C-alpha cells in the first residue's frame, strides 16, 4: 500500500474494535524511499530538508491523506489536526516549487491528489 493507506486501514480497524500488534524487531525495507535524494538547503537562517519523491508517491500521499482528514477521521481535535496537516502539505508544495529541478510533474500529481482527495475519488488512479 502506498502513502497513507496503512494509516487509513489502521484507523478503520481501530474504530471497529480490532487490536493491532507491533513487532518491534521487524524491519521493512522500502526500495522507493525518497531518503536517497535528501538535501539540506539554507533559506535565510533556517535549514530546510528537501527530497525528491516520484509523482505517483505525491499523488497517493496527497489524495489519501486529504481523504482521511476530510472524510474518515472523527476523533478529538479534528479541526486543529486538519489545519496542521494542510499546513504541512502547503510547506511540502512550496519546497517542491522552489527546490526540485523537475517540479512540473510532481506539482501536477499533487494537484490531482488534492482534487481527488477533496472529492473522495479513491477509485481514481495515478
For 38-63, what is the mean pLDDT?
88
pTM of the full structure: 0.79
| pLDDT of the residue at 1 | 44
pLDDT over 70 at 34, yes or no: no
pLDDT bin (cut points 50, 70, 90) of residue 32 is: low
Question: Which pLDDT tens digit goes with each residue over 86-126?
Answer: 999 999 999 999 998 889 999 999 999 999 999 999 898 88
For 16, what's the count of Cα atoms within 13 Å in the CB-facing half-sphere?
A: 9
Domain boundaries, the chain: 33-118
The distance of Cα 43 from the centroid of its chain, to the nearest Å, equals: 23
Amino acid at each position: 500500500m502506498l502513502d497513507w493507506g496503512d494509516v487509513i486501514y489502521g484507523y478503520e480497524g481501530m474504530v471497529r474494535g480490532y487490536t493491532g500488534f507491533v513487532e518491534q524487531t521487524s524491519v521493512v525495507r522500502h526500495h522507493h524511499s525518497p531518503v536517497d535524494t535528501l538535501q539540506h538547503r539554507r533559506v535565510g537562517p533556517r535549514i530546510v530538508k528537501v527530497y525528491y519523491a516520484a509523482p505517483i508517491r505525491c499523488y497517493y500521499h496527497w489524495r489519501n491523506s486529504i481523504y482521511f482528514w476530510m472524510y474518515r477521521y472523527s476523533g478529538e481535535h479534528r479541526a486543529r489536526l486538519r489545519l496542521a496537516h494542510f499546513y504541512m502539505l502547503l510547506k511540502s508544495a512550496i519546497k517542491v516549487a522552489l527546490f526540485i529541478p523537475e517540479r512540473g510533474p510532481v506539482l501536477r500529481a499533487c494537484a490531482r491528489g488534492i482534487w481527488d482527495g477533496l472529492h473522495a475519488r479513491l477509485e481514481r488512479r495515478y
